[in-house]
Structure 1
Amino acid sequence: MTKQTNYDVVIVGGGHNGLVSACYLAKAGLSVAVLERNSAIGGATRSKQVFSGLDARLSVYSYLVSLFPGKIVNDLSLNLKLRSRGTAS
């Protein structure tokens, strides 16, 4: 297998918007590379263990997940079911 070094599009940032953009561009037939400086992609959508010794994970983005546009789910044929929950204060 040869390593690809030329791409139609290079996206800098593997957060939500970069990943969605990459998916749309790839679906349109373009070759896409996503560059991310962190060890994992996802940006604010990733959850993190923030309390030492407590297995509770929090996400900066979790409160917005119910706003994820259904159009994107349909356009990209994602096997994803979005659920909402009440807010707690």
Structure 2
Amino acid sequence: MSLAFLLLTMGLVCLVAGGALALNVRGCAHALERKAAGNAELAMHARGELGQPQLVMSARLYRCLGTVFVLCGIVLTPYGFLELA
């Protein structure tokens, strides 16, 4: 029975977190993009480089990853319900 609860929990977490990221609720994808840019800038300054940091992941890519999480949640949640039955 614990596998069912694990699958349900992971499925629902993926649905909620991925949905918030995919739909850019309260600008979370843009906030992750700004955080990644800030971390890249700090890493460049630590190495002694003074140029502009390169954009590694854009907000669009974060939103696509959120969509992948939603799809994983859609797959995991019914399997959790099937384990319960």
**What TM-score comes out, normalization by structure 2 length?**
0.25
Structure number with bigger Rg: 2
Q: Quick one: higher RCO (CA 8 Å, sep 6+), 1 or 2?
A: 2
Higher helix share: 2
Higher strand share: 1
